[in-house]
Amino acid sequence: MEGFKVLEIKKSVFENNDREADILRQQLKKDKVFLLNLMSSPGSGKTTTLRRTIEALKDEFRIGVMEADIDSDVDAATIEKTGVKVIQLHTGGMCHLDAGMTKQGLDGMGVEDVDFAILENVGNLVCPAEFDTGSVKNAMILSVPEGHDKPLKYPLMFSICDVLLINKIDVLPYFDFDVEECKKYVKKLNPNMKVIPISARTGEGIEEWADWLRTEIKAWNEG
């Protein structure tokens, strides 16, 4: 029997999601909680990347993870093994989380003992891009097997994220993925986006990613 909590998320009752997201961010600022919204396609390595991120930062920050999924618990079970606080959020078929749903998750998890909260959003490059969750920063993962043309096809997702992790660079030799071409597409859409190539499997690039997070969390708490 797993020890984590499972929360069935309800549809938000708020009409103005942008306003709710801003209110949530103000509350997080007051509570000194940095919320990261992590998005990607299914299978790009979100959960493995998260495990690596937790390993790199769990001695510096009190981490809490919200695993959003349509109705399974497999990711929360994986994250629980790292020893950090974790809650499974079931969206009941819904393809994204908005700010009201994220707030339900944060309330369900409890942030009184958390400095760094991470939302693993539903695996989808389309819908989650349209809803501000109230997060402080948005990160996305694109993995090498998905192809370097994805910024052309999912421009909104690449536009609203602060950082792009190009994952699975250990299999670059077996795929036609052009990292420089990908960066070019990304910079056209979003000149300020930070791009970090990583391999969640081997650990390559994780230190640069952890450094980016350290800087951002510090800025949020001091700013």
Which residues bind to a copy of itself, rule: CB under 8 A? 41-44, 69-72, 74, 93, 95, 122-127, 130, 143-147, 149-150, 152-156, 168, 171, 174-175
**DSSP-derived secondary structure letter, 16:** -
Closer to a copy of itself by CB, 121 or 138: give it: 121
The 10 Å Cβ neighbour count of residue 4 is 17
The distance of closest approach from Cβ of residue 63 to a copy of itself in the complex, given in angstroms and rounded to an integer, is: 23
Closer to a copy of itself by CB, 140 or 217: give it: 140
The distance of closest approach from Cβ of residue 217 to a copy of itself in the complex, given in angstroms and rounded to an integer, is: 29
Closer to a copy of itself by CB, 28 or 197: give it: 197
The distance of closest approach from Cβ of residue 164 to a copy of itself in the complex, given in angstroms and rounded to an integer, is: 14
Task: Write out the two tokens for 29.
Answer: 């600022």
Report the C-alpha gap between 32 and 221 in whole angstroms. 6
Q: Identify the residue whose tokens are 């690449």.
A: 158
The distance of closest approach from Cβ of residue 173 to a copy of itself in the complex, given in angstroms and rounded to an integer, is: 9
Vertex 127, ends 203 and 55: CA angle to 5°?
20
Contacts of 216 (CB under 8 A, 6+ apart): 34, 136, 137
Report the C-alpha gap between 116 and 56 in whole angstroms. 13
Task: Write out the two tokens for 121.
Answer: 């959003």
The distance of closest approach from Cβ of residue 71 to a copy of itself in the complex, given in angstroms and rounded to an integer, is: 7
Closer to a copy of itself by CB, 19 or 153: give it: 153
Q: Is 15 exposed, middle or buried (0-12, 13-18, 19+ CB in 10 A)?
A: exposed
Exposure pattern of 79-110 as b/e (b: 16+ CB <10 Å)? bbebebbbbbbbbeebebbbbbbbbbbbebbe
The distance of closest approach from Cβ of residue 10 to a copy of itself in the complex, given in angstroms and rounded to an integer, is: 18
